[in-house]
Structure 1
Amino acid sequence: MAFFSVLAAVILEHLRPLRQPLPHYQHYSRFTQWLERRFNAGEYSHGAIALALAVLPWLIAVWLVFVLLSGISPVLGWAWNVAVLYLTLGFKYYSDDAERIARLLRAGELDAARGQLLAWRGGDTSQFSADELARVTIEQVMAASYRQMFGVLFWFVLLLPLGPVGAVLFRATSILARRWETSRGRFGQCAQRVFHIINWVPARLTALTYAIAGNFEDATYCWRTQADTWPEPEDGVVIAAGAGAMGVKLGQNITVGGESVWRPELGTGQAPDADCIDSAVSMIWRGLLIWLVAGLLIVIAGWVS
């Protein structure tokens, strides 16, 4: 059931990708903001309580619906898995954004490309050069690949006996870790630690997938030697491996507010351009294909045995 649920959700997202703004994420965002206002007194324990209230009710709800529908018919339970997985995935609209930026860069429309990246990433992009736009776009799409796809799929399969609980768990904790990252005091630390634990394996599986889909030797070298220099550990693992697999240099300085902001260098080889953005997206889709083929082989092995 796991393979066919994943296959159906991936095909559905490819054919009918979700488009921002996403109503269910907007509602959840408002809910998390309300929890932060209500519970944030700057203490770690308050963040733990808010995290439990932000995650556990949804996990229980999707599990109960799965149990109810599966009791009526296994097909309904399967359909619920596919529906929730489809709503928790979201890499396609980010890959479309990346490809749109690549087209704008090739057309020489830097201002439009900056605006597109700003809408996706936030922050000041007004003085980004074409090289900086390409680098940051590739970094963003690689980070999105495990937050919006590979991590979701991993936890969905791992907790499949509970229905789509794993997919919801990963996406909810990912959202909370980001949204509460800059919260006052130690409020957001619990969400960040929980997501770090949940994300440890998916991030490294994603990095390994990039290595298989690209230059394995350079990917593993950059992973070993450069990942720890990146501010966000899991992002560093994924981006370093991805940059090595592609043979491009990411990270490095970017221009923000008229000043050069230092960032660690990740990867090896050439400076990326618009075509490298498309190559990054293609590598990620090849990685997904590797996962699907591996899943299919497991299914076939089960049938044979």
Structure 2
Amino acid sequence: MTLFSLIVALLIEHLRPISTERFVEAPLKAFAHFLEDRFNDGEARHGAVAWWVAMLSVGFVSALAYFVLWHVHPLLAMVFNVVILYFTMAFRNLSRFFSDLQLALRMGELARARQLIGVWRKRSHDASSSTEVARLAIEEALIAAHRNVFAVIFWFILLPGPSGALLYRLARFFDEEWSLRKGEPEFGDFGEFAHRAFAALDWLPVRLSAAAFSIVGDFEDAVYCWRAQAAQWADKASGILLASGGGALGVRLGMPVHESGEIVERPEMGIGDEADADFMQSTIGLIWRTLVLVFLVLALLGVAGWVGH
């Protein structure tokens, strides 16, 4: 049922992608503001209480709903899985942005490519070269593939019903939403625990995604870059994904980029040639091969479990 639910959810999301801003982020923002209004006094310990209240309540309700539906009929439980996965994964949104960027670069429409990468990253890249745009697009794709797909799948498999996928998506949102407000005086350290909690939840999935990139790409270069470069990136989790992904693809990522009117210094990730539209196509192939590998592992585990019974 796990593998079938994932495949069905991805197919539906591909055919009819969801508006994440309207149906996912808007309700989550309302939930986050609800917690802030009732718990936030600027202290990290109250942020921890709010985080645990949200996670335990959502996890309990989703797990309970799954088990009730399972006892009514397993098909209803599977439908519940598919619905939650549909709302927690955003594979089609990733491929849409990436495909549009790739097409713009191939057509020589640098201004449009700069606009698209700016919308995707929520930063201005009006002075970026085509190489910088391709490099940034590959970086965003590798990180988004992990956070929108592979990590969601990991937690979906690990916890009962769809509660794992739901909790990971919620934890990721709290980290992103409250990290943006870290500098506000009235917000204080309320979001500090959410950041540390998400880093803990993402610790193993990040490394599994990096290992999968290595297996389906250039294994030797991916492992070398992972070990030699990942720690240099400001966010170590992203550094692991970019170093292993760049090594697996044979492309240079990171490095200085034009951003919001200035040059942002960044360490070099990966190894090989400069990024371009062709490497963007290779990135799509890497992500799809990783997804196939995940499905293959799940299928083998399912067969092993069936044989064991």
Please confirm whether the aligned pair reaches a TM-score higher than 0.5, indicating the same fold: yes
**Match 2:189 to one of 182, 186, 189:** 186
Output the CA distance in 1 between the equivalents of 2:249 and 2:157.
28
Which residue number corresponds to residue 123 of structure 1?
A: 123
List per-residue Cα deviations over 1:9-44 (Å, max 9, x = no partner).
223223333244342321112321343355433311
**Match 2:234 to one of 231, 234, 239:** 231
Which residue number corresponds to residue 163 of structure 2?
A: 165
Contact 1:146 1:203 in 2 (8 A): yes
1:301 partner letter: A
**RMSD between superposed Cα atoms in Å:** 1.6
Which residue number corresponds to residue 153 of structure 1?
A: 153
Which residue number corresponds to residue 71 of structure 1?
A: 71
By how many angstroms is 1:204 displaced? Answer: 0.4
Contact 1:32 1:54 in 2 (8 A): no
User: Structure 1 residues 33, 105: CA separation in 2 closer, same or farther (over 3 Å shift)?
Assistant: farther
1:263 and 2:261 equivalent? no
Which residue number corresponds to residue 245 of structure 2?
A: 242
Contact 2:10 2:91 in 1 (8 A): no
User: Structure 1 residues 38, 277: CA separation in 2 closer, same or farther (over 3 Å shift)?
Assistant: farther
User: Structure 1 residues 181, 269: CA separation in 2 closer, same or farther (over 3 Å shift)?
Assistant: same
SS at match of 1:18: coil
TM-score (norm 1): 0.94
By how many angstroms is 1:259 displaced? Answer: 2.4
Output the CA distance in 2 between the equivalents of 1:151 and 1:105.
30
Contact 2:9 2:86 in 1 (8 A): yes
Q: Which moved more, 1:181-190 or 1:89-98?
A: 181-190
TM-score (norm 2): 0.93
Q: Percent identity of the aligned residues?
A: 39
Contact 1:229 1:264 in 2 (8 A): yes
1:126-137 correspondence runs (5 A): 126-137=126-137
1:1-305 correspondence runs (5 A): 1-36=1-36, 38-159=38-159, 162-182=160-180, 183=182, 184-305=187-308
SS at match of 1:180: helix
1:86 partner letter: Y
List per-residue Cα deviations over 1:27-65 (Å, max 9, x = no partner).
112321343355433311121122224333322222222
- Structure 2 alignment gaps of length 5 or more: none
SS at match of 2:179: coil
By how many angstroms is 1:257 displaced? Answer: 3.7
SS at match of 2:269: strand
Output the CA distance in 1 between the equivalents of 2:91 and 2:232.
26
User: Structure 1 residues 9, 257: CA separation in 2 closer, same or farther (over 3 Å shift)?
Assistant: closer
SS at match of 1:116: helix
Contact 2:251 2:273 in 1 (8 A): yes
By how many angstroms is 1:83 displaced? Answer: 1.3
Contact 2:85 2:162 in 1 (8 A): yes
List per-residue Cα deviations over 1:225-283 (Å, max 9, x = no partner).
11111111111111110000000010100112432110111000111001211211221
